[in-house]
Amino acid sequence: MLKIAIQAKGRLNEQSIELLAEAGIRVAESKRKLISRAEGFPLEVLYLRDDDIPQAVAMGVADLGIVGMNEVAEKGFPVEEVMRLGFGDCRISLAVPNTVDYPGLAFFNGKRVATSYPKILSRFFAEQGIQAEIHTIEGSVEIAPAVGMADAIFDIVSSGGTLISNGLVEVEKVFYSESVLIASPSLGDAARQEIGQLTFRFRSILESRGMKYVLMNLPKERLDEAIRILPGMRSPTVLPLAQEGWCSIHAVISEEQLWERIERLKAIGAEGILVLALENMIR
């Protein structure tokens, strides 16, 4: 049976459990549990701190893990990145106090930079030929400049609100992260096959996100025009209506395109347009 490590609590916990649930796999919320058996798939779930997930997977304590790319890159353990999971987006950026003049990367030469991501930062500085002092601190990195511990910080940014409220400006976006499914490098064929079943479910869920199922009635003579407007997995489904000269069209449209397409369809005579949520898209 596969073992998957997910974050016990924190930013990735809920969405990891939700992704599994959408894939038909029910797991206990982590409260006070370290390990539990899932329902709906032969899977055991290990609840860990996100920092420990790359190592657990590299050691084979868990076969799989769901964790941010930032942790994978920082810890540097040998794990396989199986697929990106489309949540937990953030970036790690360099930020400086808003009172300093920022002339470009050369600013950091000889400066003290506080971070919880020393490896990613030292790799970046080495590539850029910058010589700075990197100070590793675990929490509240953003207050380091104000208390005189550092001249700048390298920290996770998602909206930027925390930086602003600490008088900091983001000056270099260095590392982009999202959550990923990682696998132990030493898995056998049977485990890989089971992982294939799991990733098949995850892929169909991710593909269906942001997609809508649209149905409408249309005069038959405008069908060719409608087909040109509508994208589809192959082409839209067309069904006859009891009323002579009319048909019903079904298609899948992405949320970004939805309203623009609907306006064009209305303009060629589409009526009774229904937009439905799409649960899964299996190719």
Residue placing its CB nearer to ligand ATP in the complex, 66 or 270: 66
> Smallest distance, Å, CB 56 to ligand ATP?
12
> x/- string (CB under 5 A) for Mg ion, residues 2-41?
----------------------------------------
**How big, in percent rounded to 5, are the helix, strand and coil portions of the chain?**
35, 35, 35
Residue placing its CB nearer to ligand ATP in the complex, 70 or 194: 70
First to last CA, the chain: 27
Between helix 189-208 and helix 13-22 the angle, nearest 10°, is 100
> Smallest distance, Å, CB 12 to ligand ATP?
5
Residue placing its CB nearer to ligand ATP in the complex, 10 or 196: 10
> Smallest distance, Å, CB 50 to ligand ATP?
4
70 contact choice in Mg ion, ligand ATP, none (CB below 5 to 8 Å, kind-dependent): ligand ATP
Our measurement of the distance from residue 172's CA atom to the centroid of its chain's CA atoms, rounded to an integer in Å, reads 21
Residue placing its CB nearer to ligand ATP in the complex, 7 or 208: 7
Fill in the amino acid letter for 38: A
> x/- string (CB under 5 A) for Mg ion, residues 40-79?
----------xx----------------------------
Only one residue has tokens 């970004």, namely 256
Task: Tokens for 145, please give them.
Answer: 């400049």
Of 115, 114, 94, residue with least CA distance to 104 = 94
- Contacts with ligand ATP, residue ranges (CB under 6 A): 7, 10-12, 49-51, 68, 70-71, 88, 90, 156, 158, 177
> Smallest distance, Å, CB 40 to ligand ATP?
25
> Smallest distance, Å, CB 192 to ligand ATP?
26
> Is-contact 58 77, C-beta < 8 A?
yes
Exposure of 137 in the CB half-sphere (CA atoms within 13 A) = 19
Neighbours of 118 (CB within 10 A): 16
Residue placing its CB nearer to ligand ATP in the complex, 64 or 156: 156
183 contact choice in Mg ion, ligand ATP, none (CB below 5 to 8 Å, kind-dependent): none
β-strands 271-277, 211-219 pairing: antiparallel
Of 2, 1, 5, 25, residue with least CA distance to 181 = 5
Q: Which single residue brings its beta carbon nearest to ligand ATP?
A: 68
Q: Does 155 bind Mg ion (CB under 5 A)?
A: no
Our measurement of the distance from residue 163's CA atom to the centroid of its chain's CA atoms, rounded to an integer in Å, reads 22
Task: Tokens for 262, please give them.
Answer: 């609907």
> Smallest distance, Å, CB 47 to ligand ATP?
9
Residue placing its CB nearer to Mg ion in the complex, 2 or 45: 45
Q: Does 194 bind Mg ion (CB under 5 A)?
A: no
- Measured CA distances, 117 to 54, 55, 149, 193 (Å): 15, 16, 16, 34
The contact set with Mg ion (CB under 5 A) reads: 50-51
